[in-house]
Amino acid sequence: MHQSSASQHHPAIEVIALSKRVADVAAPATDHSPAGELSILQNVEFTVEKGTTLAIVGASGSGKSTLLGLLAGLDVPTSGTVKIDGIDIFALDEDGRALLRKTKLSFVFQSFQLLGHLNALENVMLPLELRGDPQARQKAEHMLDRVGLGTRLKHYPKFLSGGEQQRVALARAFVTEPPLLLADEPTGSLDAVTGESIMQLMFELNREHGSTLVLVTHDTAIAARCQTTITIAAGKRVI
């Protein structure tokens, strides 16, 4: 059977000579940066194939969360670019990148980023409703049941534990069946036992949906579960 879409031949992500510098009047001039600039990422390159799992590791302040934000098009690089499924995301305007995020990827944050005025079900329904999906409620209920919160649909975030909030966030991320999932320290604000259960669930959901998973973590045990690991140190890829 022939694939009708040329996108089948593109990697999930291509990172090409990606650099990010920001103004910093306290930063002295170096061989790489003029005075008044702080280099956060320097000429980072890698490729992520579809359906694979990648961990981005590094010490705090190494630039890994900045890198993840660039992969999502939430920030703009100083130079270089990112291609998602063959699409140069920085050739798009802000609205174009927002549309790409809506159709191509989901994001899981360390701080959950749930809307406090919406209950668990409404939080998970929201991305489906933004797409105009007529089955938003049924799909959200199913996904919350899948993450073990079938009896907590009407609970608001403030009445849920940290682990339960992150389960809602995972349900919201996977309910749209995104081709690409980006996760920024998804267990960073959880205790070890809860964090382990969340990671187990994330990898299970990722296998079920066949999506590409890219996660930022400082935890080497979590990174070891991924098929590929890259290390960022002082803004450069070192492994």
Residue with tokens 């403030």: 158
| 82 vs 89: CA distance, rounded Å | 6
Residue 42: phi and psi, rounded to 5, are: -130, 110
pLDDT in tens for each of the 239 residues of the chain?
Answer: 344 444 458 999 999 999 999 887 665 566 555 567 888 999 999 999 999 999 999 988 889 989 999 999 999 999 999 999 999 999 999 999 999 998 899 988 888 899 999 999 999 999 999 889 999 999 999 999 999 999 999 999 999 999 999 999 999 999 999 999 999 988 888 888 888 889 999 999 999 989 999 999 988 889 999 999 999 998 999 86
- pTM here? 0.86
SS3 for 82?
strand
Cβ atoms 80, 40 nearer than 8 A: no
The predicted structure's pLDDT at residue 12: 96
Q: Which residues contact 131 (CB under 8 A, 6 or more apart)?
A: 102, 176
Cβ atoms 210, 51 nearer than 8 A: yes
SS3 for 226?
coil
